[in-house]
Chains A and B, each alone.
Chain A
Amino acid sequence: MKPARFQYVAPRTVEEAIGVLTRYGDGCKLLAGGQSLGPLLNLRLATPDVLVDLERIDELAAPPSRVDSVLRIPAMTRQRSLELSPIVRTHVPLLSDALPFVAHRTIRNRGTIGGSLAHADPSAELPAVALACGAAIVIQGPTGQRRVSAEAFFQGYFTTALYPDEVVVAVEFPAAVARQGSSWVEFAPRRGDFAIVGAAAVVQLSPHGTVASCRLAYSGVSDRPWRDETSESRLVGEYPSPQVFDRIADSFAERCEPIGDLSGSAVYRKGLVRHLTAAVLASACRQATEDQ
């Protein structure tokens, strides 16, 4: 349970970090909060030559800021501080609601938003939340910055659009608007464990009270956070009701193709998708209605 030997460097700026990545290439691993990477290092599932510690880069830990209709959260912002942040609660309530489900408080003290997204565990909460919100991941490399949508960022198990010489520097969430509701629900066998399946919903109601648009994203049903636009479109134009939620839940459950493993078979996960979809829609629509 001791990591293999590595060299260590703690750059002070993003440019310095990219310089190290460019010079030492594939052998580098970026260390953010270390709550997923630490176990991987100790179990020697990850054996980097160079560990690049991002903790000393002040610009990656600046407070979240609102720019026009976007809340920009620097990548090294700790999950615990986001959980307590009033500006996050106001503009991205889904994030505030989902964060208490991320592992345990001690883990969230260190764990970061950028680290969680870059790690891209398909069972984790934050990738699904980013997808449901339509967040953009801001990435910096040797030639400058680029923005990648959550859809394009997550590419498979622990696999993202990030190149080896790039760093996630921030995540940009669209700020919530009027008549919007959102919710996170999950089923985990024990508090703080990875959920078997989790579901996020962002629902936008029209002035008449029908669903104008919605985005749902799931953890634990695919090799990446999963969305199904066909099922989403079936909710559009409907008045929220338990009957409608059940019908949409059936659609998501039918159309998902979960992979079974020791923590839950494929059939069981489909059942969870059905149950959680109805629950998350009810809760998100209730919020949207109250937000009239």
Chain B
Amino acid sequence: MKPETMKPEARVDIELEVNGATRTVRDVDPRMTAADLIREVLRLKGTRVGCEHGVCGACTILVDGVSTRSCITYAAQLNGRSVLTVEGLSLMAGELHPLQEAFMRHHGLQCGFCTAGMLLTSYELLSEAHEVSPTEIRDVLSGNLCRCTGYQGIVDAVVDADQNWER
């Protein structure tokens, strides 16, 4: 017997883990972006939405530990996944995360709009690798646009965090 065809849904229920806590969200329009879910439904406003079509990197979050652009990921895709946003970084560390401390020390931000994305992209990099060269940092951060700093402070901050973050 042929299996019954699966039915596409106009509304979805999702359960996900956000910064360590389980969250259930019911009756979501599946076209809602992950960024909007995080900001507007879960009310975590640290994730910024810049270009809204996957170019600027400001909305970067980690999904199951992997950096992901939340503006081109849809809420329904997060069902069963574990999400880390910038709020989770400081929760993890108690106060500011060592990466955040380093960004502060090195003036790795001015307006702050790109910062959450910069932090999470750097967090992924430094979670995987030690003694990362400035060239590799620039390569990895090339997907995150900053219009204020000229990047030097950001690269310096990541180099610093690489040395000072116990991990």
Contacts and interface: CB of A to CB of B under 8 A. Distances in A.
A257 interface: no
Given A8-B8, A20-B5, A105 B140 contact: yes
Contacts of B29: 5
A11 B6 contact: yes
Interface residues of A, number: 41
A4 interface: yes
A146 interface: no
Contacts of A262: none
B74 to A, nearest CB: 7
B166 interface: no
B91 interface: no
Contacts of A5: 10, 29, 31
Contacts of B66: 80, 109-110
Interface residues of B, number: 38
B105 interface: no
Interface string A39-74: 101110000001111010000000000000000000
B33 A2 contact: yes
Contacts of B71: 1, 38, 42
B5 A1 contact: no
A53 B31 contact: no
Given A8-B74, A42-B72, 12 more contacts: A2-B33, A8-B8, A8-B12, A8-B76, A9-B7, A9-B9, A24-B8, A39-B55, A41-B31, A55-B77, A105-B139, A110-B69
Interface of A: 1-11, 15-16, 19-20, 22-24, 34-35, 38-39, 41-43, 50-53, 55, 80, 103-107, 109-110, 190-192
9 contacts: A1-B53, A8-B76, A19-B3, A20-B6, A24-B8, A34-B77, A42-B54, A51-B30, A192-B143
The 3 residue pairs across chains A and B that have the minimum distance between CB atoms: A38-B72, A104-B143, A8-B30
